[in-house]
Chains A and B, each alone.
Chain A
């Protein structure tokens, strides 16, 4: 009896999941209408559901707390999900200007070590 109830509840839940999509199917959304007018050329052919799954996996792999992943994904549009899918490891990730300063220092250090320059006189 309990098992049957569980099945029933699950069925209803699954059906409900699909219904908003069905209800909206014939309406042309604003995003789609605006995109048709030109600028948002969505060149990506990847399916949105697939993109969502890929982004979820990549977020976890890149160190996002699993508890945060779903919320982060929920705030992205379909076009953004498709743009992110497969690209998260390569897209520009704004981090720090400090890294650049570190690199310059590193290069100077190498030049010093191999004897091309001699500017760190105070540190024997």
Chain B
């Protein structure tokens, strides 16, 4: 390779890099003074300057400490650092938070969502892409403030305790990382501007890896926050069933059905509880409804299974069963 070509090859990524930094990005700015403070600075958020390539453990330790857990990056590195990648992957950050009974909540991909968390006093862990081409420069940082007047976000980033970055430039680097941002919540704590679906999914992930108590607290908070939504009730029924509390599970499923009479999962799971109670006839009438509602959708297989077991359950009902 001659010198000129070598230069061209070497310079190309640099030009992309400069272009990336200079781009104004989409017209996203910190929203106007519509009821939000003009300036937020979560000063109390601790800072752990990163060592080597360990911005993942450093950023995670920052938000976990912000949620009241005394951890340092060295505690987290064995859980999230991938030596050969010289970095940390997003799912492993979520998993590490769950191991500590924290609820990682994925934000909607807007800078407004970040602002909402800061207004609620919650620091935000973000992924940025600072490089380009063969050097992507994936980087985790924690947003701890904003200033409407100077149009900047305030970050704990790398070895900088207070990095002020123009909103447009931040959004450009965040955009290239598909706008990934999370907050780490105590079970039962709500994020800023919470979304029911996102919150219950986050709690369900906690439940799926065996943290039943923390998940239950989160579902209870969701049921209180969204009393008209069937999903948190269904979720509470499921954790009650996991604990073996049939009576509580049954009342939660019935509550879910009241809120959403067409909820396939609630009808199916109610049938399951009734079967375990020995109430075959009542279970059958629930599976009939569930089968009709499920159609050929994704839940049909599970419903068919329950229906088959209800059909094979004989005809004698235990005492005290509800009327079918």
**Which chain A residues have a beta carbon within 8 Å of chain B's beta carbons?**
24-40, 59, 61-65, 68, 71-72, 74-78, 80, 83-84, 88-89, 91-100, 103-104, 106-107, 110-111, 114, 116
How far, in angstroms, from A107 to B263 measured CA to CA in the complex?
A: 60
List chain A residues, Cβ under 8 A from B207: 30-31
B226 is an interface residue with CB less than 8 A from chain A: no
| Interface CB pairs A-B, < 8 A, 27 | A26-B305, A27-B238, A31-B207, A31-B208, A33-B234, A34-B200, A36-B264, A36-B265, A62-B83, A62-B84, A63-B84, A71-B79, A77-B208, A88-B82, A92-B90, A93-B87, A93-B88, A94-B56, A95-B87, A96-B52, A96-B137, A97-B130, A100-B131, A103-B13, A104-B14, A107-B10, A111-B11
Known contacts A31-B208, A65-B78; decide if A93 and B94 are in contact (CB<8 Å): no
How far, in angstroms, from A116 to B5 measured CA to CA in the complex?
A: 12
How far, in angstroms, from A107 to B298 measured CA to CA in the complex?
A: 53
Quick check: B265 and A100 within 8 Å, CB to CB? no
Size category of the B interface is 35 or more
How far, in angstroms, from A2 to B139 measured CA to CA in the complex?
A: 56
How far, in angstroms, from A97 to B231 measured CA to CA in the complex?
A: 41
Quick check: B86 and A31 within 8 Å, CB to CB? no
B289 is an interface residue with CB less than 8 A from chain A: no
Quick check: B138 and A94 within 8 Å, CB to CB? yes
| Smallest Cβ-Cβ distance to B53: which chain A residue | A95
Quick check: A93 and B268 within 8 Å, CB to CB? no
| Smallest Cβ-Cβ distance to B106: which chain A residue | A39
How far, in angstroms, from A64 to B95 measured CA to CA in the complex?
A: 15
Known contacts A27-B241, A80-B94, A114-B7; decide if A95 and B309 are in contact (CB<8 Å): no
Known contacts A30-B231, A62-B84, A80-B95; decide if A97 and B137 are in contact (CB<8 Å): yes
Quick check: A30 and B200 within 8 Å, CB to CB? yes
CB contacts under 8 Å to A, within B19-66, are 50, 52-56, 59
Quick check: B272 and A116 within 8 Å, CB to CB? no
B6 is an interface residue with CB less than 8 A from chain A: yes
State the 4 A-B residue pairs at the shortest beta-carbon distance, nearest first: A93-B87, A63-B83, A95-B87, A75-B95
Contacts beyond the supplied A33-B264, A92-B87, A94-B127: 9 A-B pairs with Cβ under 8 Å: A30-B207, A33-B234, A34-B201, A71-B79, A80-B94, A93-B88, A94-B56, A97-B158, A100-B17
List chain B residues, Cβ under 8 A from A88: 82, 85, 89
How far, in angstroms, from A114 to B201 measured CA to CA in the complex?
A: 55
| Smallest Cβ-Cβ distance to B12: which chain A residue | A107
**Which chain B residues have a beta carbon within 8 Å of chain A's beta carbons?**
3, 6-7, 10-11, 13-14, 17, 50, 52-56, 59, 78-79, 82-92, 94-96, 98-99, 127, 129-131, 135-140, 157-159, 177, 197-198, 200-201, 203-205, 207-210, 219, 231, 234-235, 238, 241-242, 263-265, 268-269, 272, 275, 297-299, 302-303, 305-306, 309
Quick check: B90 and A114 within 8 Å, CB to CB? no
| Smallest Cβ-Cβ distance to B273: which chain A residue | A27
List chain B residues, Cβ under 8 A from A75: 79, 95-96, 98-99, 209
How far, in angstroms, from A27 to B204 measured CA to CA in the complex?
A: 14
How far, in angstroms, from A66 to B55 measured CA to CA in the complex?
A: 23
List chain B residues, Cβ under 8 A from A36: 264-265, 297-299
List chain A residues, Cβ under 8 A from B78: 65, 68
List chain A residues, Cβ under 8 A from B138: 92-95
List chain B residues, Cβ under 8 A from A76: 91-92, 95, 209
| Smallest Cβ-Cβ distance to B135: which chain A residue | A103
List chain B residues, Cβ under 8 A from A111: 7, 10-11
List chain B residues, Cβ under 8 A from A64: 82-83
Quick check: B85 and A103 within 8 Å, CB to CB? no
Q: How far is the CB of B125 from chain A (nearest CB, A)?
A: 10
| Smallest Cβ-Cβ distance to B302: which chain A residue | A28
| Smallest Cβ-Cβ distance to B60: which chain A residue | A94
List chain A residues, Cβ under 8 A from B91: 76, 80, 83-84
Q: How far is the CB of B182 from chain A (nearest CB, A)?
A: 12
